[in-house]
A and B are shown apart, each in its own frame.
Chain A
Amino acid sequence: MNAIVVPLIIAVALIGTPLFIIILAGAAYGFWSVQIDLMVLPIEIFRLTENTLLISLPLFTFAGYLLSESKTADRMVNLTQAALGWLPGGMILISLLACSFFTLLTGGSGVTIVALGALLVPALKSAGYSEKFSMGLITTSGSLGLLLPPAIPLILYGVVAQQMDIADVDIKDLFVAGLIPAGIMVLALWGYGLWSQRHQPVPLTPFVIREVLKQLWLSKWELGIPLIIALGLISGWLVISDIAAITALYVLIIEVFVYRDIKLSSLPRIAADAMKMVGGILLILAVALAFTNLLVDLQIPTRVFDFIQAHIDSRWVFLLCLNVALLLLGAVLDIFAALIIIVPLILPVAMEYGIDPVHLGIIFVANMQIGYFTPPVGMNLFIASYRFKKSMTELYAATIPMMLVLMLVVLLITFWPDMVLFLVR
Chain B
Amino acid sequence: TVLKIATEYPDGNAILSELRMAGERIEQATEGRVSFKFYPGGVMGDALAVRRKIRIGQLNGTFIHSTAFSYEYKNAQVLNAPLLFRSFEEVDLVRAQFDDELNQGFIDSGWHTFGLIEGGFAYLMSANKVHGMEQLKQQKLWLPANDPLSEKIAKAFEINPFSLSIGDVLTGLQTGALNAFLAPPTGAIVLQWYTQADYLLDAPFMYIYGVIALSERTVASLSESDFYLVEQELTALSQRLNDLARAENIRAFDALSSLGISTVSLDDDFRHAIESEADEATDKLISSGEFDRDLYQRISDVLTDYRNP
Listed in ascending order, the chain A residues whose CB lies under 8 Å from chain B are 36-37, 39-40, 43-44, 46-47, 50, 52-53, 150, 152, 155, 158-160, 162-166, 171, 233-240, 293, 296-297, 299, 337, 340-341, 344-345, 347-348
Contacts and interface: CB of A to CB of B under 8 A. Distances in A.
Contacts of B175: 233-236, 238-239
A225 to B, nearest CB: 19
Q: How large is the interface on B (under 10, 10 to 19, 20 to 34, 35 or more residues)?
A: 35 or more
A165 B14 contact: yes
Contacts of B190: 159, 162-163
B56 to A, nearest CB: 4
A43 B49 contact: yes
Contacts of B40: 344
A131 B230 CA distance: 64
7 contacts: A39-B56, A160-B12, A166-B12, A236-B176, A340-B41, A344-B12, A345-B11
Interface stretch (B78-86, B131-139, B166-174, B293-301): B166-174
Contacts of A166: 12
Main secondary structure on chain A at its contact with chain B? Answer: helix
Interface string B101-145: 000000000000000000000000000000000000000000001
Given A163-B12, A299-B37, A37 B45 contact: no
A233 B171 CA distance: 9
Contact of A164 (B12, B37, B164): B12
A40 B58 contact: yes
A166 B16 CA distance: 14
A39 B49 CA distance: 12
Interface in B153-183: 164-165, 167-168, 170-172, 174-177
A347 B10 CA distance: 13
A150 B171 contact: yes
B238 to A, nearest CB: 21
Given A165-B12, A236-B175, A348-B12, A341 B41 contact: yes
Main secondary structure on chain B at its contact with chain A? Answer: loop
A52 B42 contact: no
A52 B10 contact: no
B13 A164 contact: yes
B43 A337 contact: yes
Contact of A340 (B42, B46, B52, B192): B42
Nearest to A50: B46
Contacts of B46: 47, 50
B171 to A, nearest CB: 6
B45 A164 contact: no
A52 B41 contact: no
B12 A50 contact: no
A162 B168 CA distance: 18
B45 A240 contact: no
Given A293-B44, A340-B42, A52 B168 contact: yes
Nearest to A238: B177
Contacts of B32: none
Nearest to A150: B171
B191 interface: yes
Contacts of B164: 52, 239
